[in-house]
Amino acid sequence: MTVRKILVQTTIPSTLDDWAIDRFSQMVALLGAQRDARGAPLFEVQARDRDSGARPDSVLSQLDTSDVDVLWLLAVDVGNGLHPEECRAIERFRLRGGGLMVARDHMDLGSSVCDLNGIGLAHHFHTRNQEGDASRRVNDDVATSYIHWPNYHSGRNGDYQELQVCGAIHPVLADPGSASGAIRFFPAHPHEGAVSAPPDQPARVIACGRSKVSGEQFNLVVAFERHQQHGRAIAQSTFHHFADYNWDARTGCPGFVSEAPGDGMSTHPAALADIHRYVINVARWLAGDL
């Protein structure tokens, strides 16, 4: 089996007190540890933050000419995380069949992804590409007053949420060991972002969550199928589904996080097993191996 090369990349320079790449170390290690039946690695993983300065990132801006198979883009910026040259390179990367995961967060966090062709339309923010239904443009998480919509409250950091499979079970959600045949749990987060399936794209919502505050249902995952040479893609409601802190709150978080954490992920092994399976499923599906 061909070893698939995965680039896990944030949209900020290396910063100690932020959601930089070191705060996603467990996911990176999980991907790097996967082996086939003969014991050979499934993935070669490169994990990095973007270059410092205003110039195009040295890796993202050349992505289409690299040997990377899958880009896992963690949009942790405040709106200025992607350079136009990088967006064009990512588009060319998808046109050659590259797989793309784009994860963002609440309000306008990660809103630079709006500049990505196609998948950018799946991500809704406070000031850019707002949700089409105006009634949803209200604060769901009302406890953290300085964070505004979209901010769907699926639970405390460090706890888990039960997801709802939408439509037929998508391959990235499949779990043969589950009674339902699907993954049941994701890490929770007090203020998830908003995603939807753009009507003019080969995309559908495959998983939903439900707010623990309002009871409102919201989308967790949108899957884009291969179409007209474009590779597969996933739009994720929050990068916190992949953060060390949300897998185990004992690993710590940036100083600006004010909410008290939970411990559900560390005390409920099935929840951690589900997000592990999801990450591996996504990596294989985006690479075309699932």
pTM recorded for the entire structure: 0.98
At the second CATH level, the architecture of 4-286 is 3-Layer(aba) Sandwich (3.40)
Predicted confidence (pLDDT) at residue 1 exceeds the cutoff of 90 = no
How far apart, in Å, are the Cα atoms of 271 and each of 19, 171, 190, 209, 280?
Answer: 22, 18, 17, 15, 15
**What pLDDT is stored for residue 54 in this prediction?**
87
**What pLDDT is stored for residue 191 in this prediction?**
97
Rg (CA), the chain: 17
DSSP secondary structure, 238-276, as one string: -GGGS-HHHH-GGG---TT--SPP--HHHH-HHHHHHHH
Query: Cα separation of 271 and 264, whole Å?
Result: 8
How far apart, in Å, are the Cα atoms of 282 and each of 67, 146, 244?
Answer: 19, 33, 18
Confidence of residue 161 (pLDDT cuts 50, 70, 90): very high
Tens of pLDDT, residue by residue over 38-79, are 999 999 999 999 999 889 999 999 999 999 999 999 999 999
Enumerate residues 6+ apart whose C-beta is below 8 A from 25.
47, 244
Give the mean pLDDT of 121-142.
Answer: 97
Spell out the domain ranges in the chain.
4-286
Give the mean pLDDT of 156-183.
Answer: 97
Give the mean pLDDT of 91-103.
Answer: 98
Tens of pLDDT, residue by residue over 213-222, are 999 999 999 9
Give the mean pLDDT of 23-45.
Answer: 97
Give the mean pLDDT of 168-174.
Answer: 98
**Mean per-residue pLDDT of the chain:** 97
Confidence of residue 228 (pLDDT cuts 50, 70, 90): confident
In this structure, are residues 128 and 108 in contact, taking their beta carbons and an 8 Å threshold? yes
